[in-house]
Amino acid sequence: MTVTAVSRCLTLLEFLAGQSEPVEISELAGVLDMPVSAVHRLLSTLTGHGWVIQDPGSQKYALSLRMCTLAFRNLDARKVPDVVQTVLERLAAETREYCRLAILEGQELVWVARAQGAVNGLKYDPDMGQEIVLHATANGKAWLATLPEEEALGIAYSKGFGGDRRLGPNSARNVDELRVRLAETRERGFATSVEEAEAGTAAIAVPFRANPDSNARIAGTISVAGPLVRITPERWEELARALHRAAAELTEIWSLRSRQRHVSRQALAAVT
């Protein structure tokens, strides 16, 4: 399979991942800017490998659950759910808000775990499949603020500001605005997002490291989010303290996991 064909397959899978209902082949051909016959060949291959399913009645196509299964298998292999869920649930119970954890993958943050702490009134419960827009989210700014300024701004600029994303009314519109917000994040010691990623919501976030060394790489971020009427500036310091405690726990857990993996590799090498 050529690089172009692989790219088209990935584009097709990404498009189907965002659809709640099966899609006509003609619509997929429009998305890929390809003839229907060529798209049909791609779909036949993906269907044969179990990535896509075709509705027998409508003949429309949808993503199978194979990708979800592989994603959960990968998380289980990393022991991510086990090591973070207890910390997240404790944080959610303490803050009485929605808490999430994201892991750093290259120049992207990816949601991997969540816990709902709100027990009554308005509940914030966003889709875990949403992209983490770095310049508009508390999690994104919490990570970017740990980088040298030019590197952070370069990453954010490369991903664009606004575009066709449906962001909140207060999201940064350019590099200069983001520079100011990252400086504020460094000064405060935590990141905020007030109607930046989404209208009517606010969030607080901090990063956690792979080990307790202050120069250790950032492993991910952890956040508390909820309706704007509850995540008010008066609560920021209180929520930030809770987040820093949880981040310290996660850093210890990540460090332990790294040591365990190192010991396991040494033991395996000794046997072989």
Helix (H, G, I), strand (E, B) or coil at 42: helix
pLDDT of amino acid 109: 94
pLDDT at position 261 is 45
At 71 the pLDDT is 65
More confident residue, 75 or 37: 37
Whole-prediction pTM value?
A: 0.70
Question: In angstroms, rounded to a whole number, what is the distance separating the alpha carbons of residues 185 and 203?
Answer: 13
Query: How confident is residue 68, by pLDDT bands cut at 50, 70 and 90?
Result: low
The DSSP bridge partners found for residue 226 are: 202
**Which of 60-64, 65-69, 133-137, 227-231 shows the lowest mean pLDDT across its residues?**
65-69
Q: Is 107 left (phi over 0), alpha (psi -120 to 50) or beta?
A: alpha
Nearest to 15 by CA among 2, 26, 28: 28
Handedness of CA 6, 158, 199, 120 (dihedral sign): positive
Q: Residue 269: which residues within 8 A CB-CB, separation 6 or more?
A: none
Distances (CA, A) of 19 to 15, 23, 52, 77: 7, 8, 13, 28
What's the confidence (pLDDT) of residue 80? 56
Listed in order, strand segments (DSSP E) in the chain are 52-54, 61-63, 98-105, 108-116, 191-194, 201-209, 218-227
User: What confidence score (pLDDT) does residue 72 get?
Assistant: 56
Q: Residue 129 — very low, low, confident or very high, per pLDDT cuts 50/70/90?
A: confident
Q: Of 3.30.1960.10, 3.40.50.720, 3.40.50.300, 3.30.450.40, which CATH number belongs to 78-262?
A: 3.30.450.40
Q: What is the pLDDT of residues 79-115, one digit of tens each?
A: 555 667 889 999 999 999 999 999 998 899 999 899 9
Lowest-confidence region among 159-173, 205-219, 257-271: 257-271
Tell me which of 242 and 36 has the higher pLDDT. Answer: 242
- Over residues 98-108, the pLDDT tens digits come to 999 999 988 99
Tell me what pLDDT residue 264 has. Answer: 38
pLDDT band at residue 272 using 50, 70 and 90 as cut-offs: very low
pLDDT at 169: 93
Q: Which of 246, 237, 239, 244 lies closest to 224, judged by CA?
A: 239
Domain boundaries, the chain: 3-64, 78-262
Query: Pick from 188, 224, 182: which is nearest to 205 by CA?
Result: 224
Q: b/e per residue, 105-128, with b = 16+ CB within 10 A? A: eeeebebbbbbbbbeeeeebeeee
Q: Please give the share of the chain, as a percent, with pLDDT higher than 90.
A: 51
- Report the mean per-residue pLDDT for the chain: 86
Domains 3-64 and 78-262 equal at CATH topology level: no
* pLDDT, tens digit, 9 for 90 and up, residues 163-212: 556 799 999 999 999 999 999 999 999 999 999 999 999 999 999 998 88
CATH class of segment(s) 3-64: mainly alpha
Identify whether the C-beta of residue 253 lies closer than 8 Å to the C-beta of residue 90: no
Spatial separation of the C-alpha atoms in residues 166 and 189, rounded to whole Å: 28
Q: Quote the CA–CA distance of 106 and 223 in Å, as a whole number.
A: 20
